[in-house]
Structure 1
Amino acid sequence: MSPPSATTSAPPLPRTARLRTSDLIGVGLLGLRGRPLRAILSGLGIAIGIAAMVAVLGVGAASQAQLLDKIASLGTNLLTVEPGQNLVGQNPPLPDEVVDMVKRIPPVRSATATGTVKGATVRRTNKIDPRESQGIEVAAARLDLLDTLGGKLAGGTWLNQATARYPAVVLGATTARLLGAEPGQQVFISGQWFTVVGVLEPLDLAPEINTSALVGWDAATGRLGFDGHPTRVYTRSVDESVDAVRAVLARTANPQDPSAVKVSRPSDALTAQLAAKNTFNSLLIGLGAVSLLVGGVGVANTMIISVLERRQEIGLRRALGARRRQILLQFLTEAVALSVLGGLAGAAIGLAGVTVYATFQGWPTVIPATGIAGGVTASIAIGAIAGLYPAMRAGRLPPTEALTTG
């Protein structure tokens, strides 16, 4: 048998097998299964950050939906007119006929008024010091006040043509609580006993009514010395014409001195409250993002320790033909898997918290789908960034050095 020719080429080396996606995921999860406690603690930072973001977004969305429903039910077409300070520093009263003048504005659907009874006090009994008024205001009220404000009675009845002329009073929600009075009982107003005929539910668009004791216009004039000047006018107009009505309301209410008229829109306070909540939610989301970054640092630290502990495993795989790219993808997959699991757990915790809190508050449960998707995506990005350096370090590790490391 003749020796082989020197020109005969050596047999080709076997091709390195490619790491399939399923194998890559399995190998990546192997490190997590081998050290479950460390994986849980590392993913806890990610979970807390995602849970905080989902909870803040969910609670904020539920609160916003509740507030929007509240604004829609109360209406944004309520405008109030009050005496203001004119250009020379005076506070002239509104004209007696201001309600009839305002009603002449075509888009205005209804208008009514209340008038403060100056010097009048309301007490539970005549044994209480008159100076202890507790901030309660005695006001004359027109009969159509409740309809214009969209108010409801918590008990009793509203003033009518008969009771408006006699010593009868309707108490605001806060006034009734402060006095401890109910329909059928009596309260002492400026030296006279008045019978409580009704108690109102809280009025969000007219909080001043909540702390008032309302008597009929005729009773206030004849029994309490009311001067007859309206101090606050409430108007309801067509929704599409609110701004137009607001623009002419001051000139209509007091043609001789429009600068002395203050016009406001009560629903603006609720809208400002909504904006304030959105600002506060942004702050909490920022805090959740900081927690998420801290969780990413924890993942990076865990992966660096994992690379140091598994140097021999890395060396053995490299000696058996694994490429640097495969080692890099293995540890990168492990870091991403750790972050994804933490993100999913955080999203579940946050969603559960949102559901429980919204149910407890009686708010509509709003699932923050954008927040959940964004949170999980952020956790994937954090995991990839946090695991990139440890994975590159593992991929660059020489097989001989790794195998000789004790």
Structure 2
Amino acid sequence: MTPPLRRTRLRPTDTLRLGMIGPRTRKMRSALSALGISLGIAAVIAVTGISASNQAHLLERLDRLGSNLITVAPGNGADQKPVPLPPTAEKMLANIAPVQQVTATGATKAQVYRNDLVPAQQTNSLTVLAARLNLLDVLHATLQSGHWLDKASENLPMTVLGDQAALRLGVSAPGERVWLGGQWFVVTGILAPNELAPELGTAALVGWPEATARLGADGTAAMVYLRAHPERVPDVQTVAGATADPANPSTVAVSRPSDLYTARAETKNSLTGLVLALAAVALLVGGVGIANTMVVGVMERRGEVGLRRALGARGGQIAVQFLIEAVLMGFIGGVGGLFVGGLAVYGYALAQGWPASIPLYTVIAGPLVSVLVAAVAGIYPALRAARVSPTDALRSA
């Protein structure tokens, strides 16, 4: 009587070597299978990357428009009269960690007229403000013509007019003079309209040192403009009042979140949901493709499976062999998809003029998810191969 075959245990290296038989002997089919996985992962990378790049572009534009701009101004006290900000308010607000930029304007006692013959009461509702040199940078403001104040002109009788101020004074170009604070000031520039700070449109802006020396400015900020980290705007708004005036925080007027900030949050949330939904669809399609490829592979290799079973291989060893094949194809496809998808994202972003952005979690999760999807998709084909009857498999070979 012939003794039964003794079943032996395979070492991990032997199991891995068996799992690589399929990819080595069926190079074209394995390459096409890996290509299918690569396209799925590339679709995930491209969808998430292009969406993230578009999101970064939109958020950057919203931030430039002022979604992270906060204004701090004097509020009213118990007697309903304005309470000035302390002289230290500007510096104290600049010390808030999420605050990125700070600038300010200050009130003066001067009025501006077209010439020295205009009656004093005809002010045209114009104001004269002391201005920091970084005012345009923080507000992302521009000039219609001329140039902004610099370190030299801020100490001289020179001014920049808001667009409405220039219109009411009849000033059409830089180089003209206006009667400001009882003396002539040369107009160096005219501001373009700015929706973030409409109060500047009816103002004549003078360098801070000149306004302090000649126009009665006391060095106190009448309006402080803050640029905060976009994600920390509510936090800055919460502490801005107490920081600007610790003794009387209730008398400080801090702007509330603007419609732009709300739009920014909605844009970020909606695009994130879209990215996740499209990524899930792409992974589902990739997983179905892997499962289909593995099922076909099992059917084509019934003879091989039957021969191994007849020689004593256990069902678990057969299942592990096919599962390793699926995982290998998933890993190769995931790495290839990451590379192809990354090229697609950077190429598309470059063509659109967007900042290229691929989420870090996508870069890390791409190959890992492809392996996981391949393993899940390969479970059924592997179990099917393990259940193949040696007799039926050899008969059909």
TM-score (norm 1): 0.59
Counterpart for residue 10 of structure 2 = 18
Task: Encode CA deviations 1:149-183: one digit per residue, 9 max, x unaligned.
Answer: 6457666333666454xxx7355xxx9xxxxxxxx
The 1:266–1:148 alpha-carbon spacing in structure 2 relative to 1, beyond 3 Å, is farther
Residue 249 of structure 1: how far off its partner (Å) = 7.3
In structure 2, the CA distance between the partners of 1:305 and 1:405, relative to structure 1 (3 Å rule), is same
Q: Are positions 1:112 and 2:105 aligned together? A: yes
| Residue 246 of structure 1: aligned partner | 241
CA contact (8 A) 1:51 1:346 kept: yes
Structure-2 separation of matches of 1:241 and 1:338: 50
Distance 1:277 1:207 in 2: 23
Shift of residue 320, structure 1, vs aligned partner: 3.5
Corresponding position of 2:232: none
Asked if 1:216 corresponds to 2:214, the answer is no
CA RMSD of aligned residues (A): 5.3
Q: Where does structure 1 lack aligned partners over 5 or more consecutive residues?
A: 1-8, 85-92, 116-137, 176-186, 219-231
Q: Please tell me whether the aligned partners of residues 38 and 335 of structure 2 are also in contact (alpha carbons under 8 angstroms).
A: no
Q: Counterparts of 1:245 and 1:32 in 2: how far apart (Å)?
A: 68
Show the counterpart of 1:299.
Answer: 290
Distance 1:345 1:190 in 2: 65
Distance in 1, Cα, partners of 2:67 & 2:293 = 55
Structure 2 residue 29 is the aligned partner of structure 1 residue 35: yes
Higher mean C-alpha deviation, range 321-330 or range 334-343:
321-330
Given the alignment, which residue of 376, 383, 389 partners 2:374? 383
Q: Distance in 1 between matches of 2:170 and 2:192?
A: 25
**1:313 offset after TM fit, Å?**
2.6
How much has 1:386 moved relative to structure 2?
0.7
1:249-291, CA deviations, whole angstroms, 9 ceiling, x for partnerless residues?
Answer: 7999999xx6xx9631679956973674255224303321221
| Identical positions, percent | 31
Query: Partner of 2:85: helix, strand, or coil?
Result: helix
Please tell me whether residue 310 in structure 1 is matched to residue 301 in structure 2.
Answer: yes
Partner of 2:389: 398
What's the counterpart of residue 148 of structure 2?
158
Provide closer, same or farther for how the CA distance between residues 46 and 365 of structure 1 changes in structure 2, counting only shifts above 3 A: closer
1:340 deviates by 1.5
How far apart in 2 are the matches of 1:83 and 1:194? 36
The residue identity in structure 2 corresponding to 1:25 is G
Give the 3 Å change call, closer, same or farther, for CA 60–344 of structure 1 in structure 2. Answer: farther
Query: How far apart in 2 are the matches of 1:217 and 1:34?
Result: 73
Q: Deviations over 1:75-127 (max 9, x none)?
A: 9795244999xxxxxxxx985xx6xx124565468742699xxxxxxxxxxxx
2:55 and 2:268 in contact (8 A); partners too: no
Whole-angstrom distance in 1 between the partners of 2:364 and 2:243: 49
* Residue in 2 that maps onto 1:192: 170
| Matches of 1:314 and 1:383, distance apart in 2 | 21
Q: Which residue identity does 1:55 align to in structure 2?
A: G
Q: Give distance in 1, aligned partners of 2:303 and 2:285.
A: 30
Structure 2, unmatched stretches of 5+, are 95-102, 109-124, 175-187, 207-220, 229-234
Structure 1 residue 294 displacement after superposition:
2.0
The answer to whether residue 130 in structure 2 is matched with residue 143 in structure 1 is yes
**How far 1:47 sits from its partner (Å)?**
2.1
Change (3 A) 1:42 1:356: closer
**Residue type matched to 2:146 in 1?**
G
Of residues 209, 223, 229, the one that matches 1:234 is: 223
Taking a change above 3 Å as real, the CA distance of residues 104 and 247 of structure 1, as seen in their structure-2 partners, is same
> Quick one: distance in 1 between partners of 2:192 and 2:25?
62
| Cα offset, 1:351, TM superposition | 2.9
What is the identity, as a one-letter code, of the residue corresponding to 2:223? Answer: Y
Partner of 1:47: 41
**Distance in 1 between residues matched to 2:195 and 2:69, nearest whole Å:** 16
Structure 2 equivalent of residue 130 of structure 1: none
Give CA-to-partner distance per residue, 1:215-242, whole Å, 9 cap, x none.
4279xxxxxxxxxxxxx952168x9997
Mapped pair 1:102 → 2:93: no
Shift of 1:292: 0.6
Which letter does structure 1 place at the counterpart of 2:387?
A: R
Q: Mapping of 1:64-103 within 5 angstroms?
A: 78-81=70-73, 101-103=84-86
Hey, what's the Cα distance between the residues in 2 that align with 1:201 and 1:357?
Answer: 34
Q: How many residues align?
A: 324
In the alignment, structure 1 residue 325 sits paired with structure 2 residue 329: no
Q: State the SS of the aligned residue for 2:379.
A: helix
Q: 1:105 to 1:280 in 2, by over 3 A?
A: same
Per-residue CA distance 1:22-47 (angstroms, 9 max, x = gap): 42232142465142564155324532
| Residue type of the alignment partner of 1:142 | L
Q: Do the aligned partners of residues 392 and 76 (structure 1) sit closer, same or farther apart at CA in structure 2, a change above 3 Å counting? A: closer
TM-aligned CA distance change 1:209 to 1:264, over 3 Å: closer
